[in-house]
Amino acid sequence: MVLYIGILMYTIIFISTTFESLTLKEKTKQTLLQHIAVELNVFHLLQLQDLSSSSSL
């Protein structure tokens, strides 16, 4: 269940940041890419947490 919520949140964030990056300048794009990288890390941690909780059941 956590995995599906994570995928949904990640998709929404990714689409919104990608759309914004098309209209922003290069320097801001770099910051945006760093933000996306952080989101990927959070998403990966959510996946690991979901896997560990489901395997313990």
User: pLDDT per residue over 12-36, tens digit each?
Assistant: 888 777 776 666 666 676 787 788 8
> Which one is predicted more confidently, 19 or 49?
49
Do you know the residue count of the chain?
57
3-state secondary structure the chain: CHHHHHHHHHHHHHHHHHHHHCCCCHHHHHHHHHHHHHHHHHHHHHHHHHHHHHHCC
Query: How far, in Å, CA of 23 to CA of 21, rounded?
Result: 5
**pLDDT at residue number 47:** 82
8 Å CB contact between 39 and 13: yes
Residue 2 confidence (pLDDT) above 60: yes
At 51, the pLDDT band (50, 70, 90 cuts) reads confident
